[in-house]
Amino acid sequence: MAAAMPLALVVLLLLGPGGPARAESPRDSLREELVITPLPSGDVAATFQFRIRWDSELQREGDTDHYFLRYAVLPREVVCTENLTPWKKLLPCSSKAGLSVLLKADRLFHTRYHSQAVHIRPICRNARCTSISWELRQTLSVVFDAFITGQGKKDWSLFRMFSRTLTEPCPLASESRVYVDITNYSQDNETVEVNPPPTTTYEDVILGTRRTYAVYDLLDTAMINNSRNLNLQLKWKKPPENEAPPVPFLHAQRYVSGYGLQKGELSTLLYNTHPYRAFPVLLLDSVPWYLRLYVHTLTITSKGKENKPSYIHYQPAQDRLQPHLLEMLIQLPANSVTKVSIQFERALLKWTEYTPDPNHGFYISPSVLSALVPSMVAAKPVDWEGSPLFNTLFPVSDGSSYFVRLYTEPLLVNLPTPDFSMPYNVICLTCTVVAVCYGSFYNLLTRTFHIEEPSTGGLAKRLANLIRRARGVPPL
Amino acid sequence: MGLLSDPVRRRALARLVLRLNAPLWALPVAWLERTMRSVGLEVYTQSFSRKLPFPDETHERYMVSGTNVYGILRAPRAASTESLVFTVPCGSDSTNSQAVGLLLALAAHFRGQIYWAKDIIFLVTEHDLLGTEAWLEAYHDVNVTGMQSSPLQGWAGAIQAAVALELSSDVVTSLDVAVEGLNGQLPNLDLLNLFQTFCQKGGLLCTLQGKLQPQDWTSLDGPLQGLQTLLLMVLQQASGRPHGPHGLFLRYRVEALTLRGINSFRQYKYDLVAVGKALEGMFRKLNHLLERLHQSFFLYLLPALSRFVSIGLYMPAAGFLLLVLGLKALELWMQLHEAGVGLEAGGGPGPSAPLPPAQGVGLASLVAPLLVSQAMGLALYILPVLGQHVATQHFPVGEAEAVVLTLLAIYVAGLALPHNTHRVVSTQAPDRGWMALKLVALIYLALQLGCIALTNFSLGFLLAATMVPAAALTEPHGPRPLYAALLVLTGPAATLLGSLFLWRELQEAPLSIAEGWQLFLAALAQGVLEHYTYGALLFPLLALGLYPCWLLFWNVLFWK
């Protein structure tokens, strides 16, 4: 179940992964697609992807200059309707036509899992990269929960999920398709039934496993005209077992250990559940300065033994300026749990630096894991332009592995917090008043006053006096 | 709130209760896992084992191993940064299966709701508090008490609040709330207010310390009943033992309380729907919290659910008691000073360099009694558990008995010691010797009691109220047997015995002398055990701090 990896982040990735496309891309193109995946638990996941490309006169200057690479996280933000509305406005058809009519906020936020993303990147238009296009890719993934949305029923349809059906493609779209994952159900059509029956299917290797998709093309006029609207239905013939979902090869957990308000420990557990292949993982941690990391306590253990990272980059924090940045390349042995832990001390903030709700705690941003995860079946090299959009979300590098970027859960850490109530303010105020009064009074009472002659001569006179003193003559 | 309002759910609950009421020999881990998973939770188990330092005869356990089962209800679209805990202790001897049934029913109901903003952990622990301790230590990845447990698989962020439920009988007529935690820690008063609100809303009969809430505060009865409840709370808090599974959560700064459904043989009987509604309401309120509970009091005493005594009111009482020690110490200091001056003036050509008064006492004479009494305290702390095997080899007693009897033997032996020490000490001015010793002892006692009263007011106040008069009066002149009797009667052991009698008297279940003695022995063993299993501080505090200090006064009394 996708909800097992809770993640509610709007990720803005500049210059994201994926090589530049080789083929000449059409000008101002829009592709939209929706992937529906029934999960073994009876829940259903829906992923929208919209890709807009346009040519631009903005030229990229040479190679990617890593000096300008920025990474920022806002771990506190929970995705809400106010994130969805501007996101929808970026779409050419807004929510008037095409797949985007399904984007009804009240249904999308009545789900178990919600993830929304905007990626923007430049793309080379030719092999020598003399001119570029820009690509704006918007994705939205939701998981509908049979317990909540389905009221216990596990049959799904577009109308049931979004309270809308598809009537027409977006007129601007060059491609508008709906894919339904029928991998486990295509062989024996016993468990699940898709209605209307698909005209074509599509097969590919996604996340290391071979998957089959039923394809519904909205630009195909026959598709809509038959019944004037398209309401895809998924019917379980045999009610799905409530089995535990299959465990992915790479997953991670993060937590704060220890108690009290002085010290603590950040622990990240990296799971490699692949039965026989080890693979490296790049772990990126950005920790705010008010957790003072003790780098000498950094320990990485897998299977009870110390695991030495092959690469460590650490940039220490500067108070109120810059967070800690810790980046490591760790080899995860096959079928193992690797624990990365580092101790920290909680800093005392200045009293104006506390948030308005200091007792809520302070957020620590998630760790980012980037890995090439070995796949179960070999994938053939893909023609990026021809394949569906969801295919490029987890790009395959050489056929034996695929790229995954994971975000662990953000953490909530309590810092030592003064009691910001009336007595605290009173104490602060009284202390200030007393300090000011006492200071000036003490100063007045202990200082001895004497009249000093105004010195007139300046430097020349002082020099002259020095010489006179050396000669034994009284000074001027 | 539609909990259990439809007949299907109610039937399911009845089935669960029937299944759980069958005699249990161990926690039905696999069944619980399956049931929780079918409800739609993420289910994990944790196994733990612990060898107690000596057999626990009250609970009949020594080598303990068990399994905790917990299911996490993930809040929709949230990132698992915060969570609430609903815990139910359950074990082979526990009759808490009704509570497990209610937990599962609540989990099923909560799972169907969309409004959760915090994850909810449904935790079923085995071996009551030991299981809770093991789970908490594993959740926070610390090892405080030497518990061996398997690491956890699932986390759900920072725990914001926890509620524990115990239903001790099939018939629930009132709901009792327990707040006293480990070492006298208390949850935020707002959590208690929250519970009280839902009690009133649901028309539940709520009790505190098993006492009904007084209705009429104008007549004498109301305040009198409030006083009884208050005294019960003071005794309970002073004991420093967790009064329910919630007590262990407080160490990790998780606001928690325990609800106990008890059968107090009243007419009204509540079905689990009423209890479930109150719990649902509490969880929804806690779910809406933006910050941890921090606005209200953490230090308070409760004469009733709706009334509290704040720290500003009760702290002066302890302060005035400690002031007695301070004034007495001041008086002794001045007497010593005068004696020093008088000695110099009357002595004529004495020691050529007149010593300052404090030094003139001869600090060396204080070293021996201080060291001896501290050594006795150390022996009291270490020997009983360390020497239990030696004792069982040489005497026909069990390990637990050996520990308790060794404790008592060392305690009494401490009383015999001063007769030996005073011969070692040689002083020219005997009067100044005991004065100096008493001065040191008074300051030592005042400091200790002050610190205790700040962290656990009830304990501090109880000890101050008993020890301060005897400590202030004691001197080697005057009616010595009277002072000795007073000192023995106000010593830590006698205070414990007295507290036990008072406690049972207030609970309206008075003890006979023999029962009281048995209970006293059991309480001693429990006190030592709780130090080792949960990290309760009462035993080391008494053994290493107050007992040696009390011996100093004994030493003063028999100064020659």
Chain A environment of B42 (Cβ under 8 Å): 4
CB B66 within 8 A of CB B91: yes
Which among A3, A147, A267 has the least Cβ separation from residue B112?
A147
Task: Spell out the SS3 assignment of B416-482.
Answer: HCHHHHHHHCCCCCHHHHHHHHHHHHHHHHHHHHHHHHHHCHHHHHHHHHHHHHHHHHCCCCCCHHH
Q: Does A265 touch chain B (CB under 8 A)?
A: yes
In chain B, the residue whose alpha carbon lies closest to the alpha carbon of A366 is B79
CB of A448 less than 8 A from some CB of B: no
| Alpha-carbon gap, residue A359 to B292, rounded angstroms | 6
pLDDT at position A78: 79
Q: Is A179 exposed, middle or buried (0-12, 13-18, 19+ CB in 10 A)?
A: buried
Q: Quick check: B312 contacting A, CB < 8 Å? A: no
A460: tokens are 């020349």
pLDDT at B82: 92
Q: Do A79 and B114 touch (CB under 8 A)?
A: no
> Does any CB of chain B come closer than 8 Å to the CB of residue A365?
no
Give residue-wise pLDDT tens across range A3-13.
Answer: 333 333 333 33
pLDDT at B419 over 60: no
Low-confidence ranges of chain A (pLDDT < 70): 1-28, 57-65, 150-152, 184-191, 224-227, 238-245, 378-386, 393-394, 396-398, 455-457
How many angstroms away from the CA of A128 is the closest CA of chain B? Answer: 43
Q: Is A414–B158 a contact, with Cβ atoms under 8 angstroms apart? A: yes
The CA–CA distances, whole Å, from B29 to A395, B24, B68, B110, B313 equal 42, 11, 8, 22, 49
What are residue A291's DSSP bridge partners?
Answer: A346
Residues 325-364 of A with CB under 8 A from B: 357-361, 363
Question: What are the helix (H) ranges across B474-537?
Answer: 480-489, 492-506, 513-534
Strands of B119-125's sheet, edge to edge? B148-149, B42-56, B61-73, B119-125, B82-89, B158-167, B255-262, B174-178, B206-208
Question: B541, B549 in Cβ contact below 8 A?
Answer: no
A246 touches chain B (CB under 8 A): no
Mean pLDDT, range B420-435, rounded to an integer:
60
- Residue B67 is which amino acid? T
Q: What percentage of chain B reaches a pLDDT higher than 70?
A: 88
Residue B41's nearest CA partner among A125, A418, A162, A4 is A4
B474-482 own/partner pairs: CB under 8 Å, 24+ apart: B474/B438, B474/B553, B474/B556, B474/B557, B475/B434, B475/B438, B475/B556, B475/B557, B476/B434, B476/B556, B476/B557, B476/B558, B476/B559, B476/B560, B480/B557, B480/B558
* B452 Cα to chain A: minimum distance (Å): 19
Chain A nearest-CA distance from B31, in A, is 15
Which two tokens mark B192? 């208690």
The pLDDT assigned to B348 comes to 40
B288 inside 8 A of chain A by CB? no
- C-beta neighbour count of B390 within 10 angstroms: 12
Nearest to B78 among A6, A258, A414 (CB): A6
Q: Check pLDDT > 60 for residue B271.
A: yes
Contact B155 A255 (CB under 8 A): yes
Q: Which two tokens stand for residue A3?
A: 């909800």
How far is C-alpha A339 from the geometric centre of its chain's CA atoms? 21
Contacts of A267 in chain B (CB under 8 A): 141
d(CA B250, CA B290): 19
Tens-digit pLDDT profile for residues B308-338: 998 889 999 999 999 999 999 999 988 888 7
For all residues of chain B together, what is the average pLDDT?
84
Predicted confidence band at B508 (pLDDT cuts at 50, 70, 90)?
Answer: confident
Instruction: Name every chain A residue with its beta carbon within 8 A of the beta carbon of B78.
Output: 6, 8, 78
Instruction: Check pLDDT > 50 for residue B349.
Output: no
Picking from A363-367, B55-59, B518-522, which range would have the lowest pLDDT averaged per residue? Answer: B55-59
pLDDT at A231 (0 to 100): 84
Q: For B142, which of A113, A147, A259 is closest by C-beta distance?
A: A259
**Distance from C-alpha of A251 to C-alpha of B518, rounded to nearest angstrom:** 55
pLDDT class of B424 with cuts at 50, 70, 90? very low
What tens digit of pLDDT does each residue of B31-53 get? 899 889 888 888 999 999 988 88
Residue B193, pLDDT score: 93
Looking only at the bridges linking them, the beta strands covering A200-206 and A250-257 are unpaired
What six digits make up the tokens of A14?
A: 């500049």
Which of chain B's residues have a Cβ under 8 Å away from the Cβ of A113?
Answer: 76-77
The sign of the CA dihedral A385, A386, A388, A391 is negative
Instruction: Tell me the percentage of chain B whose pLDDT exceeds 90.
Output: 38
In three-state secondary structure terms, B65 is strand
Q: Does B155 touch chain A (CB under 8 A)?
A: yes
Q: Return the pLDDT at A3.
A: 35
Side chain identity at residue A192, one-letter code: V
Q: Does any CB of chain A come closer than 8 Å to the CB of residue B8?
A: no
Cβ contact A359–B158 (<8 Å): no
Q: Are B142 and A3 inside 8 Å of each other by CB?
A: no
CB < 8 Å to A414, chain B:
158, 253, 292
B256 or B511: which leads in pLDDT: B256
Nearest CA to B32 among B8, B68, B66?
B68
Q: Which of residues 406-445 of A touch B (CB under 8 A)?
A: 409-414, 419, 421
Contacts of residue A49, defined as CB under 8 A and 6 or more positions apart, other chains included, come to: A31, A32, A33, A34, A35, A137, A138, A139, A389, A390, A393
Most confident of A443-447, B109-113, B324-328, B415-419: B324-328
Nearest residue of chain A to residue B43 (CA atoms) = A244
Q: How many CB atoms lie within 10 A of CB B11?
A: 10
Residue B286 has pLDDT above 60, yes or no: yes
Output DSSP code: residue B250: G
Task: Give CA–CA dist A291/A75, Å, rounded.
Answer: 16
Condensed to tens digits (0 to 9), the pLDDT of residues A409-462 reads 999 999 998 877 777 778 888 999 998 998 888 888 888 888 887 766 678 888
Question: Closest approach of chain B CAs to the CA of A462, in angstroms?
Answer: 55
Residue B410 phi, psi (nearest 5): -65, -40
HEC sequence for B318-331: HHHHHHHHHHHHHH
CA-wise closest residue to A272 among A298, A244, A296, A302:
A302
Cα–Cα dist A32/A169, whole Å? 9
Query: Is the minimum CB–CB distance between B251 and chain A shorter than 8 Å?
Result: yes
> What are the pLDDT digits (tens) for B382-395?
988 888 888 888 88
Q: Are B242 and B179 in contact (CB under 8 A)?
A: no
Q: A278's torsion region: left (phi>0), alpha (psi -120 to 50) or beta? A: beta
> What's the predicted TM-score (pTM) here?
0.85
The distance of B226 to chain A (nearest Cα, Å) reads 29
B44 CB within 8 Å of a chain A CB: no
Strand pairing of A44-55 and A401-407?
unpaired
B76/A255 CB distance under 8 A: no
Mean pLDDT of B163-176: 85
Chain B CB contacts of A77 under 8 Å are: none
